[in-house]
Amino acid sequence: MNAPDKLAPTAEPRLTSLSHGGGCGCKIAPGVLSEILKGTAAMPIPKELMVGIETADDAAVYKLNDEQALIATTDFFMPIVDDPLDFGRIAATNAISDVYAMGGRPILALALVGMPINVLSTATIGRILEGGASVCRAAGIPIAGGHTIDSVEAIYGLVALGLVHPDHVKRNADAQPGDVLVLGKPIGVGVMSAALKKGELGEAGYAQMIATTTKLNTPGPDLAALPGVHALTDVTGFGLAGHALEMARGAKCEVQLEWASVPQLPGVRQLASQGFVTGASGRNWAGYGHDVVLPAGFASEDQALLTDPQTSGGLLVACAPQAVDAVRATFARHGFEAAAVVGRCVAAPQARLMVG
């Protein structure tokens, strides 16, 4: 069953019914995105731009001075849940995550709002914005402005800005052979969202989904300051496989993933085996599956989870072996008890993901 939405008028449609795809599952497929962006690499790049589009990183970083660099990112999507407050909370948490993933601390946000104003009540739209504002308050930042449009589909998200010391910027491309990979959150959000949209996610599953998608990735700055932490990213729309591959390509190494060690949200493997899989999972595999090596007999539900689009997913850390204990302790200090070692980077002639 679905968690009941007691906030929206009964005459209004379910929020997820207005979405052709929800959450980070709305992302354009990796191969299509590469084709779209291929001509932009020739643009002039100022020397102050520390991180741009060259490695598909989580945010842009612009050096202001010797002590400060500005992090700029934006993220928005269509509803992944029906409760308007929860939708706003999830979207805001997801957007702010990119600042944490660069090793920075957020300083302010701008709201991006597109709503079908003849379909949804102002009360429902207000609850979406209230959800986003509550997350920004928890992160200690204001929503300082934004932009609104009348849209066919409901869309909400943030522009998020942050600051980081230039020496602590963590790109997704700086992993090194020998590094260990630590994942901060369990996977399976896309599978849960597929079950929810079809009315087959129970109350306990919904509570788990909301708990993980509204948990701010606050360990980011502390992780970035640790000696031995080389690379950092958050796992979102391209799934664990896609974001691990981005690390492998940036570092020109092979990522070996220990599938049995990857934490999963309760019940998601069974849901995936029952066919509750997003279309984005298949698009992800079509976009990068040629660079993934699976073991013999790897189950279809496991492949679906490997490519499952995560909305507001966990931080993925590449660190030296001697830093693993400090990384896990940092996660635990911020309340991320599920953080686990999930693989390693090894020197190889080809950048790929090897699943074992």
User: pLDDT for 40-57, tens place per residue?
Assistant: 556 678 899 999 888 888
Among 24, 26, 136, 319, which one carries the catalytic annotation?
24
pLDDT tens, 279-311? 999 999 999 999 999 999 999 999 999 999 999
The amino acid present at 42, given as its one-letter code, is A
- pLDDT score at 17: 76
Nearest to 138 by CA among 76, 221, 218: 218
Contact 345, 179 (CB under 8 A): yes
Q: Is 24 one of the annotated active-site residues of the chain?
A: yes
Lowest mean pLDDT among 196-200, 218-222, 228-232: 196-200
Q: What is the pLDDT of residue 7?
A: 42
Model confidence over 1-21: pLDDT tens digits? 444 444 444 478 888 877 665
Residue 149 β-bridge partners: 114
- Residue-level pLDDT at 56: 81
pLDDT tens digits along 251-271:
999 999 999 999 999 999 999
pLDDT averaged over the chain? 91
Q: Which residue has the higher pLDDT, 316 or 23?
A: 316
Q: Say if CB 205 and CB 89 are below 8 A apart.
A: no
Taking the model in full, what pTM does it have? 0.90
Lowest mean pLDDT among 61-65, 128-132, 248-252: 248-252
Stretch 168-195: mean pLDDT: 96
Mean pLDDT of the 88-100 span: 97
The residue with tokens 């830093």 is: 323
Tell which residue, 248, 238, 235, has the closest CA to residue 284. Answer: 238
Residue 333, pLDDT above cutoff 70: yes
pLDDT score of 234 more than 90? yes
pLDDT (0 to 100) of residue 1: 41
Question: What local confidence, expressed as pLDDT, does residue 12 receive?
Answer: 86
Tokens of 332: 């635990």
CB atoms within 10 A of CB 204: 11
Question: What pLDDT does residue 4 have?
Answer: 43
> By the 8 A CB rule, do 135 and 216 touch?
yes
